[in-house]
Every structure is written in C-alpha cells, then in structure tokens.
Structure 1
Amino acid sequence: MTNYILYDDAAIRRHLLPFTFTRPVSEIRCGILTLTEKWAHFLQAKPSFLTEPYLQTKFPFVATDDNIFINGAVCATSAIAEAVRNLAEGEALAALDQIIAYRSPFEVVDPRQELNVISFPDPIVIIQRVWDIYGENGAQIKADFAALTHDRVSQPLNDPFTRVYAPENVFLEEGAKVRASVLNAENGPIYIGKNATVSEGSVIIGPFALGEGATVNWGAKMRMNTSIGPHCKVGGEVSNSVLFGFSNKGHDGFLGNSVLGEWCNLGANCNNSNLKNDYTNVKLYSYATEAMEDTHRLFCGLFMGDFSKAGISTLFNTGTVVGVNTNVFGAGFQPKHIPSFSWGGLAEGFTEYRIEKALKVAFETVSRRGEAFGETEREILKYVFEISRGYNRK
C-alpha cells in the first residue's frame, strides 16, 4: 500500500512563520479544511509528516518502502490527487517551478535533479506567504464546500426567524444551530459545521465557513471569505480572515484580512487596520529575511501566532505580525512586529514573557476547554521560546 508523507518545503516554511513555529506547513487552515485534511479527503488516506525535528513527536513521520512525498503547501484537488497516485517510483510531479510530489523509498533533496519530472498541466494553489492564507481563502471555501457536500443533504434549517438567500448554497452539518439570523449565500457558499452555533441577530455573507463546535456570537457581522475554525468564538465584525481553531474574538471590534493561529484571544473592542490611508501596498515583517517585505496588497491586517493574547481595546496597525505566546496590551497602535514571548505594549514597553509563566497560562488556556496540554506541547513551546531569541526584536 502506498504511504503518503506531507513534507515541509524549507524555504516556504520560513515565510509562513509565525504559524509554522508550532505546526507543519500542511496543518495551516485555508478554506474549510486544513491542507492536511484536503489531502486526506482526496487521497482517502491518512498522511504522516516530514517537518522540523522538534515537531515530529506531535506530528509523526512514518516511512515504508513505497512512499509518495507531497509538498505540504499545495492545496489538493481531485485532479492533483489522481496525478499523485499515478506517480511511478523515481518520478516527480511539478507545476511550473514548484514540486508537487515525488515517489521514492527515501527523502530526495533535489527531485528536479535526481528524478524524472512530470509536468502537471493545470494551475495549482500553493500557500507560500502568510497573506496567501486569507488571499486564497474564499476560493478554497468554495472548493472545500463542493468536496465536502457532494452527494450529501444538509440538515434542515427550520428556524422561522432566520432569512436565507440562495439556500442551495447553505449546508448545515449535524447538530448545527442557526437562530434569528441572516445568511446570504448568493456570492458564495456558507458552511456551518457539526454542533456549531450561529446566535441571534447575526449576519453572515458567503463564502463563509464555521468549524465544528464554533460559535458566532449575538449580533455579529461575518463578511465574505472568512473561515472560523473548530471551537472558536467570534463576535463583532470579521472580514476575509481565518481563525485556525480554539481562538476567540468574542466581542465587538473589527478584524479584517487577518490570520489568527490556535488558542489566541482578542479582548473586547480590539481592532486592526487593514488599509493604509495613502492606499499604498502594505509591508509586512518577514521571519525569512528579518526585514519588512512588500506584500503587493492594499488590504493586509493582523497575523498572530498560537497562544497569543491581546487586552481590551488593543489597536493593531496595518500589516502587524505577532509571534507565538505573546501578551499584548495598552494604549496606541502596537508595533508592526511583536516577537514571540513578548509581554507588554507600545506605551509600557515590552519585556520577555517568563517561560514558566507562559507555559502555565498555555496549560490553563487549553485545559479549560477540556483539551490535552502535555509534555509534548510544553517542549514545543520551550523550543520556540529559545529559537525566538535569535530573531530580530526590532
């Protein structure tokens, strides 16, 4: 039986920090599903991971004599999956300058030089920069919706006080609840996951995805191209943004063209800017170059790594990058780059978040949701704490 392995392209992985500090590239969410889940769906197989050594305990690597190594940054489709399955040993599949996958008993450093390369004829979607996560999100919601709902029937939406536009584009999984809300799927599908809740007075515009067990709070405004991952809680106004899972933005305030990792929390009335007053391209801090990088986008908001939190009324500037396990608070617009394990704010200044205190808060954050936070998770965060000291703290 063929064994599938999702590998991290080293160059791409650095450009996807801070999210890849704590996960392989393929565990990024874009659309309804993570990239891993897309591959698992189309291959009908559970892949393993080839990632950084400190992540392998949580994301194990399994090899056999017949392996297909898949670039974890590629968004799977049925056509790509079929081409991947048909690879012979010693062959690699590529699209333009990107390797999609290769078949080999062992890892190959340079598939283009060492293997027979076959060209994939159609365009592919590959997540190469953090802004691709929200930039591709609307199209990926549509693609995932088609894949997940094919030949299936939605649970009925019987609430008499909910107004639905284009009901054929709305799908509710088992246990999903919608109360006295407006769902407008005329411009794209709306997916409500298992046991998810849309509370009274909410307005949702598709494309939109709400993950399993997630909640849209009362009176929320969910604008198009937004994905709320499993067990998140959201309120206020959210536009073209992705929350990976278990994160909260439960109160009023605006979040636009942004990406939040897992276990993040934005306090009441947190807001971010996503457009510069002079309408020039937004520049964003890059961990790959330790410098500001032109995104070539007019709209670009907040990128926040796992376990980071912001106090009430925190303001984030256009194109702000916040690392892993930070605690940000105080008056004024915060700096455009806040390194991992920082504590403080612009007005008060920043200090290093003490590692034992950070781990205790992380444990409490996860445990109160009934999830496990053990030695594996502790060791990952301790490793990120150490390597983060090497990144530029400007």
Structure 2
Amino acid sequence: MLHTILFDDPVIRTQLLPFTYTRPVAAIRCGIEKIYEKWNDWLKTAVSFHTEPYLSRKFPLTVVDDNLFINGGLCPDEKLVAAIQDLAVNTALTSENGEILAVRSSAGWQPSIEYTHITALTYSGPFTMIRNVWDIFTFNGAQIKADFERITANRKSEPVTDPFTHCYHKEQIFIETGAVIKAAVINAENGPVYIGRNALIQEGSLIQGPFAMGESSVLAQGAKIRPGTSIGSFCKVGGEVSNSVFFGYSNKGHDGYLGNSVLGEWCNLGANTNNSNLKNDHSPVKLHSYVSGSLADTGLTFCGLMMGDYSKAGISTMFNTGTVVGVNVNVFGSGFQAKHTPSFSWGGHAEGISEYRLEKALAVAKDTVNRRNIDFEEDDENILRTVFEQTRNQRIF
C-alpha cells in the first residue's frame, strides 16, 4: 500500500530556521492548517516524516515497499495532488528549475541523494512552496482562502447568535461548534474568516479577513486583527496584529503591535511589546540568515519578527524591522533589540546578553507546557537539549 512521507529538503530546512530547529518543515503552519495537515486531508491518509534524526522520535518515519516522498515545504492544490498521485514507481516530479517536488520510490530514497534509476518529470504548473521564513506570512492570506474552501465545502457554519456582533459578507464566515463571539465586528469582504472549535472572541474585537483562528484560542477585548493573520490552537491574542502567523500555544495577550511576523509555539510577548515592519526609508528589509550567518535581503518592504519556540519577551520590548529570535530565548530591556538574538539567550541589547542556563531554560519550558495541562515529554526535552548544543557557537556575547 502506498505510504506518504513528507521530507525536509536540506536547503529549505536551513532557510526556515529557527522554526525547523524544533519541527519538520511540514509541521509549519501557513493558512488555517499546518502543511502536513493539508496533505492528510487531501490524500485521506496519515503521513510520516523524513526529518533530522533528533526530531524523528516525535515525528516518526515509516517506510514501506511503495513510498511517496513529498517535499515538506510544498502546499497541496488540486492539480498538484493529481500530478503527484499519477507518479509511477521510481519517478520524480520536479519544478522547471529542477527542484524536487515529489518522488515515488520502492527503495529508501534520501532527499540528499540522487538515483540514476529515477525518471524525472517536469511540473509546469504554478505551486506554493514555503522556502523562507518570510514566505510563511507572505503566502498566509492565499493559504487561508485555499484551506477555507476545502475545510468548509458542503458544511454548514454555526450561526452568529450574539445580537451585538456585526458581520460583513456572512457567506465567507465559518464558525465551528462551541465558538463564542461577543460584540465583535467581522468583515469578510476581502477574504474568508474561519473560527475554530471552542474559540472565544471577546467584546470589541475587530476582524478583517482573510483570518483564521484555531481551536480554543482567545481574542482579547478590543483586539484589532488585520488581513492575512492566522492564530493556531490554544493561543491568546490581543492588541493589533497584521499579516502574522501564530503556530499555536503562544500568547500576545495585551496591547501592542505585531505585523508581518511569525511566532512559533509556546511563545509569550509581554504587555506593550511592539515590532517595526517597515523601514523609514522604505528600502527592502534584511533578515538574519542561518545559511550565511549574516543579513540576507528578503526583497520585502514589510517584514517584522520571527520568533522560535519557547521564547519570551518582557513588557515594552521593542523589535526592529526584520528581527530574528531563536529558540528558548528570554529577551527584555530598553531600546530596540538586536536583529538576531541566538537561541538560549538571556537578556537584551542594552542590558547585555548571556547564555540561558540549560537546566533553568528546560524548567521554564516544562512549566510553560504543564500550565496548559499538557505533558512536557522526554522527546521535547531531548529536542531542546540538542538545539542547545547545535546553537552553542551562535552565542558569542
């Protein structure tokens, strides 16, 4: 029986750090769902992952006699899925630039190894590939629309029962069971709005689509949500948010601006934390590259904060245009923070930065997870220990 494996392209994985320190590429959220969830739905099967060895216990790999390897950064659509499903054994589907999109192989194919016995077919149609961290928010609005059409097809939304909530273009608003909305304004004229199960939208929230909100997440009183924003499951978000993605289990519960940004899981932004997403001279934003170790030109006029899992910012923290914060960072203090704060750092640009003691960092991470009544498992701890060692050379203070 054909089995689907989502693989980490080595080049793309590095370009997507710090988010791929703690997850495979396919576990990135873009749109309503994570990439692997999209493939699960399209293919009506559970996928497995070909990723880094230290991630494989949490994201296991299953190999059978007939395997369909799909690039983990690839977002499915109808034509692409059809082309992939039509692949014969020992055939690869590549882009016009030679990028591997999918391989059907009877052997244990490796993304970094080429086999002479594999026949390459070129896919000439358009497709969406998450290659860089900024692609996550850049493609997010379009992916919300695509996910919305598929998830809500032939289904009926729960009604808006609150008399003080006003909706524009109700046909493009879908509410799952258990969601509660109070005295909000929801405008789906420019894109759909999806509200997940048991989500809570508190009084005075203003929402512009395209927008997606995951299961049991909360929009705090007076939240202002601008287009292209996705909030994963079990988040609490307040203040002003524009074209940004929260992977899940992360909080920005108070006032402050977040724009053109991506937050991983288990992050927290303190009250009045703000980020810049536009340079005063309107020139393209440069962002720290884990490929070169230096700043890389994104080509974007708008680009904000990229924050890895388990990282936290103190109250009134200011992030400059195009800032990268690694995994398990505690950043705080006056003035704008550095353009790149390495993983397992403690402190701020003005106050000075030191290494976040590993055992202390693990204890805080465990407490952060346990407070949501979720177990911080041995696999999670081992992943963080590995990331600590992998990023040691970045922490030169």
TM-score, normalised to structure 2's length?
0.98
CA distance in 2, matches of 1:252, 1:386: 35
2:217–2:235 Cα contact (<8 Å) kept: yes
Read off the aligned partner of 1:99 and give its amino acid letter.
I
What is the match of residue 34 of structure 2? 34
- In structure 1, list runs of 5 or more residues that go unmatched: none
Q: Deviations over 1:197-221 (max 9, x none)?
A: 1111000000000001111000000
Identity %, equivalent residues: 57
Q: Does 2:130 align with 1:103?
A: no
What is the 5 A alignment of 1:1-394? 1-97=1-97, 98-105=99-106, 106-108=108-110, 109-111=112-114, 113-391=116-394, 393=396
Contact 2:222 2:238 in 1 (8 A): yes
Contact 1:306-1:325 within 8 A present in 2 as well? yes
Q: CA RMSD in A?
A: 1.1
SS at match of 1:23: coil
Q: Distance in 2 between matches of 1:113 and 1:317?
A: 48
Distance in 1 between residues matched to 2:122 and 2:179, nearest whole Å: 42
Work out whether residues 355 and 395 of structure 2, in 8 Å CA contact, stay in contact via their aligned partners in 1. Answer: no
- 1:272 and 1:202 map into 2 onto residues whose CA distance is 21
CA displacement at 1:121 relative to structure 2: 3.0
Q: Is the 8 A contact 1:95 1:124 kept in 2?
A: no
Aligned pair count reads: 394
For 1:392 and 1:139, the matched residues in 2 are separated by: 37
User: How far, CA to CA, are the matches of 2:87 and 2:212 in structure 1?
Assistant: 33
Conserved? CA contact 2:8–2:24, under 8 Å: yes
> Can you list the C-alpha shifts for 1:265-310, whole angstroms capped at 9, x where unaligned?
0000000000000110100000111010000001000000000000
Check whether the contact 2:209–2:226 (CA below 8 A) recurs between aligned residues.
yes
Letter in 2 for 1:103: R
Could you tell me which runs of 5 or more consecutive residues in structure 2 were left unpaired when the two chains were aligned.
none
Distance between the aligned counterparts of 1:343 and 1:110, measured in 2? 39
Deviating more after overlay: 338-347 vs 81-90: 81-90
- State the AA in 1 paired with 2:109: E
Q: Indicate if the aligned counterparts of 1:90 and 1:103 stay in contact, CA closer than 8 A.
A: yes
Q: Secondary structure at the match of 1:244?
A: strand
**Corresponding letter in the other structure for 1:13:** R
Q: Is this contact kept in 2: 1:192–1:210, CA < 8 A? A: yes
1:82 is displaced (CA, Å) by 2.0
Query: What letter corresponds to residue 19 of structure 1 in structure 2?
Result: F
Q: Look up the equivalent residue of 2:4 and give its one-letter code.
A: Y
Native 8 Å contact 1:290 1:392 kept in 2: no
Cα deviation digits, residues 311-354 of structure 1 (max 9, x gap): 00000000000000000011000000000000001121000000
Question: How far 1:393 sits from its partner (Å)?
Answer: 4.2
Task: Name the amino acid aligned to 2:100.
Answer: I
- 172-181 or 115-124, larger mean C-alpha shift: 115-124
* Cα distance between partner residues in 2 of 1:26 and 1:344: 32
